Amino acid sequence: MRYRDRTPQEYKLTARASKIDPRTKEHPEIDYVFEAKGKPQDLEHAVVDTRVKPRGKLVIWLMGYNSQLFDRLSSYGLHAIQVHYANRWFSKVCRENPVGETCRGNVRLEAATGEDYSDQVSIPQPDGMKERALQFVKWLAKENPQGQWDYYLTPDGKDLRWEDVIMAGSSHGSTTAARFAKHQKVSRVVMFCGPRDQLQNWQTLPSATPTNRYFGFSHVLDGGWTADHYCRSWELIGLNEFGPIVNVDKAKPPYGNTRRLITDFDVKNNTRRAHSSVVPGGSAGKDAKGQYIHEAVWKYLFTQPVDKTGKPVPLDPGCEKNQRDS
């Protein structure tokens, strides 16, 4: 990939999913709508910086738009998009106690693919993440040819080149990113404060994406960490095969080439802040000069060569993996 831009710059683009693809529809049964209180809810965001040598990788971000994160992704030479898809199901379905061990995993896969994997929801292809991403990239290829977005389309234009896609997200989004990567081979998976789904078994399924391509980062006071939800997912996915859990505040890049990173910087015992502290933003850690302390971590997560790995370590007996009986 090479840019041919007469005025190289960072491009930030937005469009409404419902305008890009007229097949899309609302799903009020799961609180998924295109407008609320007179404001559009289906805005999608994209960024590319043609001043930076491209890596030929497209990040699909599965959480709310984070402009500071996207600025960093573009500075790494990555293309990035945030898509709006039918993902508001979490508080509406799979609410029985105990929840079935495949319920949420199947809903996640249906929301991601738009294919029928669950009897809890009915999400057609145009409203799944996969098709939303494809239609957005096709729109971007027309609207922003300087960004070379067409690189990520298959020759027939009917799909994305998924092996050049980085799935990423935080919390609920990181969980769906990992679930989708089990199903579809991708270039990399970046999981902030997740994956959760502590009562689900999809983490043990064979993975279409090689396991060394999954990367995780959590704060130790995050409720998902203290309850062993994240360490469980990391180990069931198999990340202990690529190195120990490393505290980034006590180590330097490349952190032994591990896939499991944590931080314990002071969040004043605020667990809510801890949950969102691992991505750029108001909760993230800063030094005395007001600079983010995890810049190197974020770059590592998205750009560290996946073939460089740490040495295998045993499973942690202190991480409770049988959450149903705990």
Is 321 part of a structural domain of the chain? no
Is 323 part of a structural domain of the chain? no
* Position with higher pLDDT, 194 vs 92: 194
Average pLDDT over residues 254-259: 99
Reference 164, options 179, 186, 145; nearest CA is 186
Residues 238, 177: Cα–Cα separation, whole Å? 16
* Position with higher pLDDT, 138 vs 33: 138
Q: What is the pLDDT of residues 42-85, one digit of tens each?
A: 999 999 999 999 999 999 999 999 999 999 999 999 999 999 99
Is 315 part of a structural domain of the chain? no
Exposure b/e, 34-70, CB count within 10 A at least 16 = b: beeeeeebbbbbbbbbbeeebbebbbbbbbebbeebb
Length of the chain: 326
- With 0.85 as the threshold, say if the pTM is over it: yes
What pLDDT does 192 receive? 98
229 CB contacts (<8 Å, ≥6 apart)?
195, 196, 197, 198, 323
Is 316 part of a structural domain of the chain? no
Mean pLDDT of the chain: 96
Is 153 part of a structural domain of the chain? yes
State which amino acid sits at residue 145. P
Judge whether 63 and 142 are in contact, CB under 8 Å.
no
Q: What is the pLDDT of residues 79-120, one digit of tens each?
A: 999 999 988 887 789 988 889 999 999 999 999 999 999 999
Statement: residue 155 has pLDDT above 90: yes
What pLDDT does 3 receive? 96
Is 309 part of a structural domain of the chain? no
- Between vectors from CA 39 to CA 38 and to CA 43, what angle results, nearest 5°? 150
What pLDDT does 326 receive? 64
Statement: residue 242 has pLDDT above 90: yes
DSSP 19: H
Is 239 part of a structural domain of the chain? yes
What pLDDT does 324 receive? 83
What pLDDT does 64 receive? 93
- Domain span holding position 252: 10-303
What pLDDT does 98 receive? 86
Tell me how many domains the chain contains.
1
Is 128 part of a structural domain of the chain? yes
CATH of the domain at 249: 3.40.50
